[in-house]
Amino acid sequence: MQLINEELKELLKHLKYGRDIDNASFEPIYYLIFNPNRILQMKSQLPAIIARLNNNGWEVHVFSIASNILTILQNAPLRNLWLKAEKSDPLQWEKTNQSLSNEISKGALEEKIINKLNEIEGEKNVLLLFTDLEALHPYMRIGSIESKLQGKFSVPTVFLYPGERTGKTNLRFLGFYPEDGNYRSVHIGG
């Protein structure tokens, strides 16, 4: 997978030397952008990506968006009601997605991210790697979470981002959401 090797080289360079002065903020946030058609390929390469980061002196902590959303939804107070509603009318996807979206947007995911950042803050050569961003669809986008948590990223944070870059700062989540230029991060690949 030659392309990911080049992208990892660029990421490692940014991690070593920091961000450019012209970026909108100085938080150490990096997006490793890849075509959404490569989601499964990226998942299969995750152990190699982590190994490469480890071999370059980084202690990688993985934060799976999918796993954390699953935990939030499994522990939601309305879960039993959702299951009953799904059994009585299983094709009401719009209502189901709206209910799940409401639960996720209450702040539990952001709280889990803050807890993880606080847990590893101050550790030497630590890096937080976000995976499974596609699990945010159709509930929200990572850019809105990044905005809400502005000022909280004290350790280098890398998001494996399935989407397209449409300029220096604009991204299209999953390749079909509208362009969003509100990211305050360094974009690599895409």
pLDDT tens by residue, 102-112: 788 888 899 99
pLDDT of residue 43 exceeding 80, the answer is yes
23 band by pLDDT with thresholds 50, 70 and 90? very low
Alpha carbon distance 153, 129 (integer Å) = 12
Alpha carbon distance 141, 155 (integer Å) = 21
Q: How many other CB atoms sit within 10 Å of the CB of residue 4?
A: 19
120 in the Ramachandran plot: left (φ > 0), alpha (ψ -120 to 50) or beta?
alpha
Q: Which residues pair with 186 in a beta bridge?
A: 30
Q: Which residues pair with 159 in a beta bridge?
A: 31, 130
Q: What is the mean pLDDT of the chain?
A: 83
100 band by pLDDT with thresholds 50, 70 and 90? confident
Indicate the range of 20-29, 30-39, 41-50, 144-153 predicted with least confidence: 20-29
**Lookup result for tokens 């799976």:** 64
Indicate the range of 66-75, 95-104, 124-133 predicted with least confidence: 95-104
What is the structure's pLDDT at 21? 45
Alpha carbon distance 76, 128 (integer Å) = 26
What is the structure's pLDDT at 77? 83
Name the pairing type of β-strands 126-131 and 157-165.
parallel
142 band by pLDDT with thresholds 50, 70 and 90? confident
Q: What's the mean pLDDT in 5-26?
A: 73
Q: Which residues pair with 171 in a beta bridge?
A: 165, 180
Fold of 2-73+107-189: Rossmann fold (3.40.50)
Radius of gyration of the chain (CA): 17
